[in-house]
Amino acid sequence: MNFILEISFRLFLTMLFAFLITPLIRNLAFIIGAVDQPNKRRINTEPMPTAGGLAIFISFSLSILFLFNDIIPTSYALHLIIPSGIIVVTGLIDDIFEISPRQKMIGILLAALYVCFVFDIIMHSITLPYIGTIHFGWLSYPITILWIAGLTNAINLIDGLDGLASGVSIIALTTIGIIGYIGASTGAVHIVVPLSIFILLMSTLGFFPFNFYPAKLYLGDTGALFLGFLISLLSLQGLKNATFISLITPLIILGVPLTDTVFAMIRRLLNKKPISSADKMHLHHRLISLGFTHRGAVVMIYCMSLIFSLISFLYLFTNTWGTIFLTIASLLGLQLFIELIELSGENRQPLLHALKFIGNKAYRQKKLLDRKKKKE
């Protein structure tokens, strides 16, 4: 059998297995008490089984260990499964007992420490245009841990609507997998990395029909943390000696969850609230408050994720100056969108005010007059 066809068939079996075990995981969630009860922070109006990420984790683990054991070394597979298992246990405990963000962070840090000191995956340096290579030295460890913790929590924080985190992860994994495959064809990345990404992608696709609106099973912290962690780990394997493009590409691909996370932190700091405190000002909340339906808000965020993914592909074909201008244009466009939907909070729209000051004569004169009065 043709190698590509054989791999495709195994990936299909991975997806089929995830699809078949998901109803069993749904029943298990009720038995173990992994159920989201309705409250003022939740979207659901009736008890919903969660911890659906168990189906993705089991499918991924069995597939990478047995279906692809002739391509992916067992030692490599275990280095993915063991720290992921720590994450899954942490998420499952939260889905059942609702532990604090600090307690969840302990599990994430344990998994990140395994990656650094056992798996030996560390971001050692970065090469920047016109600057050269910057070696991180002992900072390699905190930078790597920060990368893992940041991406893991980003996927978890966006998990607020049916199918949102799983759908965004599917788009991100598809993009990272294709870019990883291109890297593997040039020898920049080992083939086991994109293959592992595609195994995770197919495991998530098998679960997705049960999670899309109206969901029969939630991803839960079990799944959201697991997806975020593995995306961070698999993307990190091409960043041991990063370049500006290799570093920024996964950040662009994950632009939606990372933006939501960063502005949630900024918003809470400006409002003098703990960073870990909850609110209803996340991207999906803002879209619903603007009149989007549940399904409409999810599809809108999918479209945004696709735009970020397409931008990430453009980096493969740009020179240094093109990369710089593309990054600046993307950041300006993103900032404008954020201010339009008031993601950073009300009356925090510096770019909009600047554009209005330039393009609206009456507004400009009023602002200049107000400044003059204040000086007097």
**What's the pTM value of the predicted model, to 2 decimals?**
0.89
pLDDT at 1: 56
Token output for 362: 């009456």
DSSP run (H or E) holding 184: helix 164-185
Question: Alpha-carbon distance 187 to 164, whole Å?
Answer: 34
pLDDT at 41: 60
Residues 6+ apart with CB under 8 A from 77: 64, 65, 68, 69
Task: List, run by run, the mean pLDDT of 10-residue segments along the chain (376 residues).
Answer: 85 97 95 82 73 96 95 95 97 92 93 94 82 85 93 88 92 91 81 94 96 91 95 83 74 85 78 70 79 87 91 84 85 82 72 80 79 71
Q: Is 346 left (phi over 0), alpha (psi -120 to 50) or beta?
A: beta
pLDDT at 40: 62
pLDDT at 134: 84
Dihedral (C-alpha) 178, 180, 184, 190: value to the nearest 10 degrees?
A: -140
* Contact (CB, 8 A) for 52 and 217: yes
pLDDT at 43: 63
**Using CB atoms within 10 A of its CB, is residue 178 exposed (0-12), middle (13-18) or buried (19+)?**
middle
Q: Is 73 left (phi over 0), alpha (psi -120 to 50) or beta?
A: beta
